Amino acid sequence: MNNLFNICIVDDDDIYQYTVMKTLKSLELVKNIIVFSDGEEAINFMLDNINKENELPDVIFLDINMPIMDGFQFMEEYVKIKSKVGKNIIIYMVSSSVDPIDIEKAKNISAISDYIIKPMKPVDLKTRLEELLK
């Protein structure tokens, strides 16, 4: 991984999208930010770009509760194609849900690096990205 990240935000909350994009841009660790409002849009993008390493995200911030395809459904589809993806993608499930069932379910999916409870503080976002650079 180089010093700049391709970041993907998968979340149907426009205000959250805007806030995270603004925070990410201020950190100067980001090459590109792509945003999707549901898991289906995101998985279709992944499939369309499966052999284009530079187009694929390095990090995905994935919400749970979204219309059409939620975060867990996205992960079911992602796990099926993960071996074909030409790079290691770090996935953080980011949700306002504090339900222990959701947290446990996310922890049991090996492709999810961590479960983050919203709102995500800018300092936490910066720390996580800086850790990935090490």
Domains of the chain listed by start with CATH number = 8-133 (3.40.50.2300)
Instruction: Please count the other Cβ atoms lying within 10 Å of the Cβ belonging to residue 92.
Output: 17
Q: What is the pLDDT of residue 1?
A: 44
Q: What is the pLDDT of residue 104?
A: 96
Structure token digits, residue 93: 């499930």
Q: How far apart are CA 112 and CA 32, in angstroms?
A: 21
Amino acid 132 reads L
- pLDDT digits (tens), the chain, 134 positions: 457 899 999 999 999 999 999 999 998 889 999 999 999 999 999 999 998 999 999 999 999 999 999 999 999 999 999 999 979 999 999 999 999 999 999 999 999 999 999 988 888 898 999 898 88
Number of residues assigned to the chain: 134
Amino acid 109 reads I
Q: What is the pLDDT of residue 2?
A: 54
Q: What is the pLDDT of residue 86?
A: 79
